Structure 1
Amino acid sequence: MEIFLIYFQLLNYTFCLRPGEPLSRKSPIKSGTARVSASPEVHHKVHRKGHRAVGIIVPYITKVSDKQWIYRRKVPKDLREKIGIREFKFPLGTTEAEAWKKYPTVHKETEKRIVEARKAVLNPPKVQHQSELERFREARSRIRALQLNPDWDGSDENEGIIRDVIADKIVSKYAEDEEGHPFGVTAEDAALLNTLAYGSRQKAPSPTINDAKRLYLKERVRDDEKKQKHVELVFSYLQKALGSDRVLTSLKREDAKEVRDYIYDGIKASSADRYLNTVRAALNHAIKEFDLNWKNPFMGLEVDHKGKGEPDRDSKRPFTDEEVKATHVRILGYAKQDLQHIWRILERTGCRLAEVTGLRVEDVKLDNPIPHIVVEWHDQRRIKNMVSRRRVPLLGDALVAAKEAVAEAKGSVMLFPAYGRLNGAGSASAALGKHVRACVTDKKVTTHSLRHLMKDRLRLAGVSKADQDIVLGHSSGSVGEDYGGDEVRLKVALRALEKVFA
């Protein structure tokens, strides 16, 4: 029996194994290194089903030649259609050492793809059936694609013949009942058959609440998942309050009041106001795009704040100086490094949390005469509005934190890779919120209270309302929105923050 020595690493230690010998711990070596020495015959046996070393199997490593190692793994049959391939195959390098080094990363990524595909198969997205109006519009688009006139009035006999031929072809796909009528016709084909038959005589279906919601999601909300969920929630309240998907023009003021009362039941007045604002915006968009001669019954509809105080004013408050100092000390003592950097930048800039977590490395301008961060729209981060796009000076500890964060990013596109993603700001808020709550029990104080604190500090420093808006990115219709170039606005913001921290 051939005696061979296998070196491999486990928990940062080298273990030397010989057949029949127990494990023995030797001195630590650099993480990720491993070597296997064996005869070609042993290697052949090892690589048939994976790399096996004294009872330990490392699956999917295959040596295909003296200078080629690959990761090879069959895709489960039920996932092949979803993933699009029959087998994963990735090069691991030309030497065994390279293969062992690359294996963990390749294996982890492959496992991730399989898990994601499995979730997609087990939880397929809900099929959203078209509304009557959507089918009507799609049918007219299909008519145009066939180079026919959607508004055909029957006078062109040649087009009439072509329409009959197309209709016969569609009907021929379906079986006929005893009376010779096709059955099982899909809603989409039925809409096309009606458009082919009636042309200009076909009346467009009236848009419904659901049509308004879908149009708003498609043209205004687009791919913003957070806003998509909000709109879906708000319109679910409409459906429950009204009991069905009503035609828009059938909605009256009494219907709007009923919806308001349903939404207002059990939630804050401020939340009810926000939900109604979404309804107003969606219906106004529908009125414009559907060319409706109809007055939005939700316009001017107020939520009664009586008996609930002023929730918007009382829901949040700034930190006191003592509270912010205590929270600062705790975060620097207990939070992760990236959260420390985020907090220090927030504390000295007054930015929104999402504006900081969404920063790219290129947004940090350390070589500028006025070091600053650039808050702007990009694929990984949406900003609240155009006025929110701005340059914010970095002073004192915020500048130090930004420099440290850039150094820590190590070639990453995002300044804070763990939070520079979809819903990353929410994760950062939850993590920071735990430290805030450990120091401040009042639930009206949150991470966002740093922004309120900066607002108060600007006021106390005698900074004008217009200049406050430049620093904080507020839209108020003030002259602050009329300053010229970015450099001028940056200098104005610097002057304001210098007053605060003088």
Structure 2
Amino acid sequence: MPLLALSPIVSVKVKHLWKKPSSSLLYYRRRIPDDIKPLLEASGSPWAGKPQIVISLQTTDPKAAAPRIAKLAEQHDKEWEQLRNPSKARTLAQGEQLLRNRGIDPAAPNADEEALSVFFDEIEDNLPAKVQDNLHEAYEHGISVNPKRDIDPHLPPVVATALQIAQGRREFTLSDCLDQYIASRSEKTAKSGKIAFGYLRDFLKSDRALAFIRRQEVNDFVKWLRAGEHNKDGKPIATTTVQRYLNCINAAVTRAIKENELNIPNRFSSVDIPDMGKDVQKRIPFDLQQLRSLHHGIDEWVVVKGWDQPRCIVTILAETGCRLAEVTGLALADVYLDDDTPYIDLKEHPWRSLKNSGSARRVPLTPRAVQAVKAAQTVANGSKFLFPQYTTAKACSINSVSATLNKWIRTRDSLQGAGLTCHSLRHSMKDRLRAVQCPDSVQDQILGHTTQGVGARYGQGYPLDLLAEWVNKAMGAVRG
């Protein structure tokens, strides 16, 4: 360990610093821990099979070498920690690769008994001495050994997984299934998958192996969700939501069975949901008078308290028919007020996805909507988000703004007890457009619905100024 000269009279030793006798360059040299060596091999690391890491620091100056060493040491500490505690999906992949590196086929580990025997010997040699002694004593006295209890806990996760595969006792669990599923899906779909599998694990009270889940348990899981036993409030989950969760789980299990060649049935296929669809509650739109009451309530609020983000959002919802997430997740750059036809540009963002490809669109703004957008820009106070109270670079808090708006709407004069929500405003815009006999294809483009037919996929759609004519005509009746 060479000395690092800090001054003519002060020197310190620098860990992992090494100088070759035949070279003036300095090197980073670090011994690879024994437990990491097989993990490097399984991960395909360039350092696999080597006793230590040696990297040229491209300098002869110890002072310049010191920060580079610190950075490399931090990098390797992090990499080794990830190898010691990998995700379940990565553990499985690396466990299988470790077997292949030993000449063992994970799908047929008994095909090469000699390679398998060498692998077992290697596993035993790397166990702690006390564990080896206990195993030998058990063998001598004819005492059965439980690998899951007596061996696996003393091995790194990847090596333990490789041993389980080699011994034919690897259980493909719900967590394994979920990990593989979300790795191949969008962030939005992955989120639904996590919720669905979270409920399932809560119901089963364990991370159950797929092979040991019974069909009756799946049916009971459906009843459990419908009875509201998944939460403290006892609020049941709607049949359509239960179906969505089951579809997600079914897709994940189907994929797992196919990709991992599991010889098991899919217990989540074609599950019957009692009274499917009968609990669906039709969205009640605002009628003309209720829309006027809503705008009156907004105006009163603004006169007394001034514009705030919730009142800006609800105004834009009422005047555009957009979805709540579409408005709440707007960036300032999505707003175009200086064009001949003011509009908002709805597109995907890292913090807010869109429902489907047809949801990406330009929506014209009425004069009242323009007023609300300008107020929102002022309230945003320089943020890149139009509604920073509810939107960050990571997420868009739809549940929060929805609860705030719904509570406020239901306490306005003439709206109490009407069962109206902020989403009802989207249905109201549909009714307003129908009332002025707006063509269906124009309605679809304004609201982001998919127009049926091959012809609908041709061209770029209706011009923005034409859309604006219909929206202003539709909302003109509200203003009388």
Of 312, 326, 332 in structure 1, the residue corresponding to residue 280 of structure 2 is 312
- Report the Cα distance in structure 2 between the residues aligned to 1:155 and 1:184, rounded to whole angstroms: 23
Partner of 1:220: 185
After the TM superposition, which parts of structure 1 deviate over 6 Å for at least 4 consecutive aligned residues? 128-131, 152-162, 223-226, 267-270
**Contact preservation (8 Å) 1:318, 1:450:** yes
Partner of 1:501: 475
**Contact preservation (8 Å) 2:192, 2:248:** no
Question: Structure 1 residues 155, 344: CA separation in 2 closer, same or farther (over 3 Å shift)?
Answer: closer
1:186 alignment partner, SS class? helix
Question: Structure 1 residues 173, 272: CA separation in 2 closer, same or farther (over 3 Å shift)?
Answer: farther
**Contact preservation (8 Å) 2:433, 2:443:** yes
Unaligned runs of 5+ in 2: 1-84, 138-146, 229-233
Partner of 2:245: 278
Displacement after TM superposition at 1:348 (Å): 0.8
- Report the Cα distance in structure 2 between the residues aligned to 1:237 and 1:179, rounded to whole angstroms: 36
1:415 alignment partner, SS class? coil
**Contact preservation (8 Å) 2:104, 2:112:** no
**Contact preservation (8 Å) 1:136, 1:191:** yes
Q: Does 1:482 align with 2:451?
A: no
Partner of 2:299: 332
- Report the Cα distance in structure 1 between the residues aligned to 2:466 and 2:250, rounded to whole angstroms: 40
1:399 alignment partner, SS class? helix
Which amino acid in 2 is paired with 1:258?
D
Partner of 1:347: 318
CA distances 1:83-139 after superposition (whole Å, capped 9, x unpaired) = xxxxxxxxxxxxxxxxxxxxxxxxxxxxxxxxxxxxxxxxxxxxx9977x8754441
- Report the Cα distance in structure 2 between the residues aligned to 1:347 and 1:284, rounded to whole angstroms: 37
- Report the Cα distance in structure 2 between the residues aligned to 1:274 and 1:151, rounded to whole angstroms: 41
The correspondence of residues 412-451 of structure 1 with structure 2, limited to 5 A, is 412-421=383-392, 422-439=395-412, 440-442=415-417, 444-451=419-426
Displacement after TM superposition at 1:270 (Å): 7.1
The correspondence of residues 2-151 of structure 1 with structure 2, limited to 5 A, is 136-143=92-99, 147-151=101-105
Relative to the length of structure 1, the TM-score reads 0.60
Which amino acid in 2 is paired with 1:262?
W
Question: Structure 1 residues 232, 159: CA separation in 2 closer, same or farther (over 3 Å shift)?
Answer: closer
Which amino acid in 2 is paired with 1:329?
H
RMSD over equivalenced CA pairs, Å: 4.1
**Contact preservation (8 Å) 1:170, 1:189:** no
CA distances 1:275-307 after superposition (whole Å, capped 9, x unpaired) = 2222122222331343067456542624315xx
Displacement after TM superposition at 1:436 (Å): 0.6
Task: Return the structure number with greater relative CO, CA threshold 8 A, min gap 6.
Answer: 2
Partner of 2:438: 463
CA distances 1:377-411 after superposition (whole Å, capped 9, x unpaired) = 11221222222222111122112322333344343
Question: Structure 1 residues 445, 287: CA separation in 2 closer, same or farther (over 3 Å shift)?
Answer: same
Which amino acid in 2 is paired with 1:494?
A
Partner of 1:103: none
Partner of 2:210: 247
Of 383, 386, 398 in structure 1, the residue corresponding to residue 354 of structure 2 is 383
- Report the Cα distance in structure 2 between the residues aligned to 1:151 and 1:177, rounded to whole angstroms: 30
**Contact preservation (8 Å) 1:269, 1:311:** no
Which amino acid in 2 is paired with 1:220?
R
Partner of 2:447: 472
- Report the Cα distance in structure 2 between the residues aligned to 1:232 and 1:194, rounded to whole angstroms: 22
2:344 alignment partner, SS class? strand
- Report the Cα distance in structure 2 between the residues aligned to 1:353 and 1:475, rounded to whole angstroms: 18
Of 215, 227, 245 in structure 2, the residue corresponding to residue 265 of structure 1 is 227
Of 375, 394, 405 in structure 1, the residue corresponding to residue 365 of structure 2 is 394
Displacement after TM superposition at 1:191 (Å): 6.3
Which amino acid in 2 is paired with 1:471?
I
Single out whichever of 352-361 and 452-461 deviates more from structure 2.
Answer: 452-461
Which amino acid in 2 is paired with 1:140?
E
1:354 alignment partner, SS class? helix
**Contact preservation (8 Å) 2:317, 2:324:** yes
- Report the Cα distance in structure 1 between the residues aligned to 2:379 and 2:318, rounded to whole angstroms: 20
Displacement after TM superposition at 1:224 (Å): 7.9
**Contact preservation (8 Å) 1:270, 1:312:** no
Question: Structure 1 residues 494, 149: CA separation in 2 closer, same or farther (over 3 Å shift)?
Answer: farther
Which amino acid in 1 is paired with 2:243?
L
- Report the Cα distance in structure 1 between the residues aligned to 2:222 and 2:310, rounded to whole angstroms: 40
CA distances 1:182-202 after superposition (whole Å, capped 9, x unpaired) = 956427647626736985xx5
Displacement after TM superposition at 1:431 (Å): 2.4
Question: Structure 1 residues 224, 190: CA separation in 2 closer, same or farther (over 3 Å shift)?
Answer: closer
CA distances 1:313-360 after superposition (whole Å, capped 9, x unpaired) = 43x311122222222222333364222222221111001111111100
Of 136, 155, 176 in structure 2, the residue corresponding to residue 180 of structure 1 is 136
Work out the number of aligned pairs and report it.
Answer: 362
- Report the Cα distance in structure 2 between the residues aligned to 1:420 and 1:213, rounded to whole angstroms: 28
Give identity over the alignment, percent.
Answer: 26
